[in-house]
Amino acid sequence: MSGWARKRFWKEAAIGPVEGGFTVTLDGRALKTPAKAALVVPSEAVAELIAAEWQAQGEVIDPNAMPATRAANAAIDKVRGQKAEVTEIITAYGDSDLVCYRAEAPEGLVEAECKAWDPLIDWAGHRYGRRPVLRVGVMHAPQPAALLASLESDVARLDAFELTAFHDLVAMSGSLIIALATLDRFAPPEALWHASRVDEDWQIAQWGRDEEAEALAAVRRQSFLDAARFYFACQSGRVTPARAAQ
């Protein structure tokens, strides 16, 4: 027996200003989160992303085609109430960051890692005043406490919506440094996603493609790009409550 699917019940998705930001309406009725909270987002750009997702739905609702809606729901229902805990989980990646652990061999992989990751290490060293320490192999060795504190300080400044997007950037790439570089517009999100895939791409070049692994990588890539888009939409035209209510 197939599972129950919710069908489309509205004709038009629209956006409008409310106290605290913007909301999305379906035929004039404001959206709520799964926890029944008002869906109020920090910028018009985020509201437009969400409205476009609802407007693009067919006869049967496909939640997988609504990444901005899911992110906004998570920010309001989950992340907002446990921001400190989420920040702590995310910043833990900095002590064992992907770009700091290098292969000893073969030479081709070593060169590929250096080409993709050394510019990120240089960026982090310039931004945070301390260059991350590189390791050869996989045995853990801690980064300097002062560097980790600086990384955590940047993450702690993010609001619930930004932090929700940032969580996915870190989780999909496996790198706090890559995620922070994305926020800083160090390079386009697509290029930074590929930087996180150096080891996997090298293995593919050596041993050939794996369809199942490629399908999973495609999902992770899209999640990374969706998260970057959501974060930058949060940054675009943010409003104060007074301005939003005008």
Reported as a single tens digit per residue, the pLDDT across 149-181 is 999 999 999 999 999 999 999 999 999 999 999
Q: What is the pLDDT of residue 238?
A: 61
Neighbour-count burial for 98-108, b at 16+ CB within 10 Å, e otherwise:
bbbbbbeeeee
CATH superfamily label, 82-208: ATP12 ATPase (1.10.3580.10)
Question: Rounded CA gap, 73 and 70, in Å?
Answer: 5
- Do the bridges between strand 135-136 and strand 101-102 make them parallel or antiparallel, or are there none, so unpaired? parallel
Taking the C-alpha atoms of residue 141 and residue 133, their distance in angstroms, rounded to an integer, is: 9
In this predicted structure, the answer to whether residue 1 has a pLDDT above a threshold of 50 is: no
pTM of the model: 0.92
| Tens digits of residue pLDDT in 34-85 | 999 999 999 999 999 999 999 999 999 999 999 999 999 999 999 999 999 9
Q: What would the pLDDT profile of 190-232 be if each residue is shown by its tens digit?
A: 999 999 999 999 999 888 888 898 999 999 999 999 999 999 9
Residue partners of 228: CB distance under 8 A and separation at least 6? 165, 169, 182, 189
User: Is the Cα torsion angle 236, 241, 245, 246 positive or negative in sign?
Assistant: negative
> Are residues 200 and 113 in contact, defined by beta-carbon separation less than 8 angstroms?
no
Strands (E), 93-183: 101-102, 135-136
Beta carbons of 21 and 40 less than 8 angstroms apart: yes
Query: In the chain, where are the structural domains located?
Result: 82-208
For the residues 87-93, what does the mean pLDDT come to? 95
Report the mean per-residue pLDDT for the chain.
92
Residue 30's nearest CA partner among 9, 13, 5, 11 is 13
